[in-house]
């Protein structure tokens, strides 16, 4: 007589509401590793234990011996992590810069800007003493320029109010401008080994699949904290983020390569309940006007809601001819996909426009689109 798996686990977890995620995951791993899943009828493969009941209980994970989940994840990370420059340091300044740059930005886009930024501003005191336009110029191309403004403001607070000494706890980090719960936990766990968990989009997706959907964000934070390896919090946080970024990806995860698949409740089926907003399609045109070795640029108002004080090319009117188009390119900002026409046209006079020598352009805080156009035109590198 075949005993359904759910019945076996149900017997094991009598009074499961007072158990813990560790007990559940360890047992699932044990049964998973020695059970012939294909031989079981499909209706038998279900679980009658919700691991989130465990987080409401008072029992905490035993930190003395990391459970198999932690060991499997950390062993995988040690052999498979990407070679990234911010993983080669425990300097809180460098880790802080990387975390701010990586907010809503792909690693590939951050890599070239990270090293350049650190060469220009090698310390928090250098960053604090810099003019905001210089910081924005070095940030140009990464987008979300409020991050650079907050970074500059936070550097001034650290330099002037803390004597150049960085906070060592996530609570203290979160008092600085532009640093929320995730960023504070990431910096303090990686730089100072504080045992606090992170929860970004990658980690949340891993937890959704690992433990099943149907829980709040606060419950996800609780789960992340309970799973955390308290002896190696920085490595563990980076490992679970790396898992979400490279293996447990959106859509079709690479479950066959997952080091913790035996602990997974959904085996890749679970997804975040949020749907990505539909991309809007917009067309626009900009003027590329030159005079000798100078290019005409215009500056956005400092009270603009988007990218205040940034420099860009003047917008073209609607009367340009097809023969005026030098080239077209695509550009995306959050949920909008732009098709950009770059035209050779006598620009309308603008109060904020001025001719800028090509040798000086890189010193200005350019919008990402302006930088993309000027690179395409081979005016800047």
DSSP string computed for 62-127: -SSS--HHHHHHHHHHHHH----GGGG---HHHHHHHHHHTTTS-HHHHHHHHHHHHHH--SHHHH
Residue (of 266, 255, 253) closest to 213 by Cα position: 266
Q: Residue 295 pairs with which residues in a beta bridge?
A: 290, 356
134, burial (CB in 10 Å: exposed 0-12, middle 13-18, buried 19+): middle
Strand 336-343 versus strand 280-287 pairing type = parallel
Would you tell me how many other CB atoms lie within 10 Å of the CB of residue 102? 20
Residue 43: predicted pLDDT: 41
The per-residue pLDDT for 234 is 97
Q: Widest CA span of the chain, in angstroms?
A: 89
Give the model's pLDDT for residue 23.
Answer: 52
In contact, 70 and 236? CB cutoff 8 Å: yes
**Of 228, 241, 244, nearest to 193 (Cα)?**
228
What is residue 271's predicted lDDT score, i.e. its pLDDT?
55
Phi, psi angle pair for 68, to nearest 5°: -55, -35
Q: Cα–Cα distance between 262 and 278 in angstroms, integer? A: 35
pTM assigned to the model: 0.73
Give the pLDDT confidence score for residue 331 in this predicted structure.
87
Is residue 43 within 8 A of residue 53, CB to CB? The reply is no
CATH 3.90.79.10 fits 280-376, yes or no: yes
Q: Look at residue 213 and give its three-state secondary structure.
A: coil
The helix (run of H) or strand (run of E) holding residue 290 is strand 290-291
- Residue 17 CA to residue 50 CA, distance in Å, equals 8
pLDDT at 19 (0 to 100): 42
Among candidate residues 17, 99, 115, 252, the one labeled active-site is 99
Domain 65-275 falls under CATH 3.30.1360.20: no
> What sections of 121-165 are H helices per DSSP?
124-129, 132-139, 146-161
Residue 138 known to be catalytic: no
Residue pLDDT, tens place only, 206-215: 999 988 876 7
Q: Which residues of the chain have pLDDT under 70?
A: 1-66, 214, 268-276, 346-351
Domain boundaries, the chain: 1-60, 65-275, 280-376
Strands 353-357 and 280-287, bridge-based pairing: unpaired
Angle at 36 between CA 34 and CA 38, to 5 degrees: 155
- pLDDT for 215 equals 75
């Amino acid at each position: 007589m075949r005993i359904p798996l759910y019945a076996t686990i149900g017997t094991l977890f009598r009074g499961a509401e007072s158990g813990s995620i560790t007990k559940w995951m360890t047992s699932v791993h044990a049964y998973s590793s020695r059970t012939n899943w294909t031989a079981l009828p499909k209706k038998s493969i279900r679980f009658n234990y919700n691991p989130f009941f465990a987080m409401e209980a008072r029992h905490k994970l035993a930190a003395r011996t990391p459970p198999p989940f932690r060991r499997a994840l950390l062993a995988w990370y040690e052999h498979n992590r990407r070679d990234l420059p911010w993983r080669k340091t425990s300097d809180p300044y460098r880790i802080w810069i990387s975390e701010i740059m990586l907010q809503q930005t792909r690693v590939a886009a951050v890599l070239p800007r990270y090293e350049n930024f650190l060469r220009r501003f090698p310390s928090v005191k250098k960053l604090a003493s810099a003019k905001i336009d210089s910081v924005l110029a070095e940030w140009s191309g990464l987008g979300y320029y409020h991050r650079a403004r907050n970074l500059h403001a936070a550097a001034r607070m650290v330099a002037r109010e803390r004597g150049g000494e960085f906070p060592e706890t996530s609570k203290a980090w979160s008092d600085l401008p532009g640093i929320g719960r995730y960023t504070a936990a990431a910096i303090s766990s990686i730089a100072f080994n504080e045992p606090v968990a992170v929860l970004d989009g990658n980690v949340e997706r891993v937890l959704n699949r690992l433990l099943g959907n149907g829980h709040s964000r606060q419950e996800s934070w609780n789960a992340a904290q309970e799973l955390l390896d308290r002896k190696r919090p920085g490595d563990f946080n980076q490992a679970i983020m790396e898992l979400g970024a490279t293996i447990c990806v959106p859509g079709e995860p690479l479950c066959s390569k997952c080091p913790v698949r035996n602990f997974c409740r959904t085996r890749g089926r679970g997804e975040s309940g949020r749907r990505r907003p539909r991309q809007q399609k917009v067309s626009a045109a900009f003027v590329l006007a030159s005079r000798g070795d100078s290019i005409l640029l215009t500056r956005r108002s400092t009270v603009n809601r988007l990218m205040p004080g940034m420099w860009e090319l003047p917008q073209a009117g609607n009367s340009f001819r097809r023969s005026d188009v030098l080239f077209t390119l695509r550009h995306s900002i959050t949920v909008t996909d732009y098709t950009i026409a770059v035209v050779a046209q006598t620009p309308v006079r603008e109060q904020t426009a001025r001719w800028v020598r090509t040798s000086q352009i890189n010193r200005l805080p350019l919008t990402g689109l302006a930088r993309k156009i000027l690179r395409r035109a081979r005016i800047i590198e």
